[in-house]
Structure 1
């Protein structure tokens, strides 16, 4: 099982939730998750243990975001394609992806992971520069990763295994 599928299972993302998450508003607003987490963790300086309330709100937002938006009217937007590409990527141990998609997503995930190390350090020691630098790395890696996922979707959307992900009217 891939790490990505394990995370998706932890968030209880079923087919309907994935389609709702393919709404471009869901994808765009998902980018607020990291700043909310950083703010919640940083607020321990001012709020002490009450910062856990903000942390809980941030985690609730992360869980709730893919569920609050309706399915988009069409799945032909970049954000929708990126979400469906992520579905394909998390399933790559069952259905292989083309060779030109096998390495770069891992590199981009590593860039995001390195960025998170800077974020963790910056938040731990209350230093804005490593926090902001880390966030920039996280977003650069993640947004580029999403772009690769949109490309992956375009390359694999006609695979019969993925025919049920979107409505047929959106596949033409």
Structure 2
């Protein structure tokens, strides 16, 4: 099992959650998670152990976000296609995808993962410059990943009846 599949499994994403996550409000508000987690962890400076409360709230928001918004009226958006592409990518063992899409997705996952190092160090040492640098790598890598998933969906939507059915 790879890190992408593990993350999807931890989020307990079923078809209903994926359909709701295709809502642009879900996709764009999801970008709030890392900045909110940053603030929650840094809040230990003034909240002490009570900082665990905002940390737990951000974790709950992370899980609830894909389920928080209704299904979009139309799926003709960049955000929806990015979500569809992510599903196609996660299904790559059952329905193979072009190798260049896989390389890009893994590479951008690595960029985001590398960003976690300065971000974590910045949180630990309260070095806000390192926090911002790590956030830029993680969020930038994730946004670029979503954009690549749009391309993947565009290339793959005609290859599988399920993929075509997502479009409304």
How many residues are paired up?
168
C-alpha displacement at 1:165, in angstroms? 5.0
TM-aligned CA deviation for residue 94 of structure 1:
2.3
The question of 1:43 aligning with 2:62 is answered: no
Q: Which moved more, 1:47-56 or 1:102-111?
A: 102-111
Matches within 5 A, 1:16-95: 16-95=16-95
Q: Deviations over 1:47-70 (max 9, x none)?
A: 111000000000011011111101
Alignment match, 1:114: 114
Distance in 2 of aligned mates of 1:5 and 1:165: 22
Q: Which runs of 5+ in 2 are unaligned?
A: none
CA contact (8 A) 1:15 1:165 kept: no
Give, in whole Å, the separation in 1 of the partners of 2:135 and 2:86: 21
Deviates more, 1:89-98 or 1:127-136: 89-98
**Normalized against structure 2, the TM-score is what?**
0.95
Q: 1:30–1:165: structure 2 CA closer, same or farther, 3 Å change rule?
A: farther
* Alignment partners' CA distance in 2, 1:111 and 1:52: 28
- Structure 1 segments unaligned to the other structure (5+ residues): none
Could you say what secondary structure the match of 1:103 adopts?
Answer: helix
Q: Is the 8 A contact 2:17 2:67 kept in 1?
A: yes
Shift of 1:164: 6.7
4+ residue runs of structure 1 moved beyond 4 angstroms? none
- Give the C-alpha shift of residue 87 in structure 1: 0.5
Who is 2:146 aligned against?
Answer: 146
The root-mean-square deviation of aligned C-alpha atoms, in Å, is: 1.3
C-alpha displacement at 1:162, in angstroms? Answer: 2.7
* Distance in 2, Cα, partners of 1:152 & 1:163: 11
CA contact (8 A) 1:84 1:165 kept: no
